[in-house]
């Protein structure tokens, strides 16, 4: 739907610009003479009080360039803001995924069935060598089971 809308809008804008160009061209061919432009009161200090003679095609092209520049500036600004929001959204999603992966051992620890049934003999020997039971004088044998009433 969006592609079709974009294609249709590009076609409409292109045809409108072609039509405007044809109309301006026909107008300029018919009226290619000089026109008198009155100087606004704010600019009389710089330009004087006498009316200026300006060639009509130059006047029309300057209006067209000004209008197209304004449209390009606004369109470029809107496009920039739209792309920036897309990039910020992507960065937010990637940071969320990274946070989830970084916290994986805390949010989903290994299940108990993954642990071995009996302790590792080397780990048992290392624990005894560190002095876990030698200080109280306990023997080195297996611990006796505790009976419950």
d(CA 145, CA 46): 108
Instruction: Read off the pLDDT of residues 108-133 as tens digits, 9 standing for 90 and up.
Output: 666 777 666 777 888 888 888 887 55
Q: Provide the pLDDT for residue 135.
A: 47
Q: Provide the pLDDT for residue 132.
A: 57
d(CA 23, CA 4): 28
d(CA 133, CA 22): 100
Instruction: Read off the pLDDT of residues 72-89 as tens digits, 9 standing for 90 and up.
Output: 999 999 999 999 999 999
Listed by start position, the domains of the chain span 10-36+51-105
Question: In 3-state terms, what secondary structure has residue 51?
Answer: coil
d(CA 19, CA 74): 22
């Amino acid at each position: 739907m969006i592609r079709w809308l974009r294609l249709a809008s590009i076609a409409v804008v292109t045809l409108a610009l072609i039509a405007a160009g044809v109309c301006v061209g026909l107008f300029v061919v018919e009226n290619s003479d000089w026109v008198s432009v009155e100087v606004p009161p704010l600019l009389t200090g710089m330009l004087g009080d006498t009316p200026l003679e300006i060639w009509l095609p130059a006047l029309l092209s300057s209006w067209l360039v000004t209008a197209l520049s304004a449209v390009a500036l606004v369109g470029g600004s809107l496009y920039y803001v739209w792309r920036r929001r897309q990039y910020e959204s992507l960065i937010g999603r990637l940071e969320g995924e990274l946070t989830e992966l970084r916290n994986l051992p805390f949010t989903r620890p290994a299940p108990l069935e993954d642990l071995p049934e009996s302790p590792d003999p080397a780990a048992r020997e290392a624990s005894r060598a560190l002095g876990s039971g030698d200080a109280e004088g306990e023997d080195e044998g297996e611990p006796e089971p505790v009976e419950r009433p």
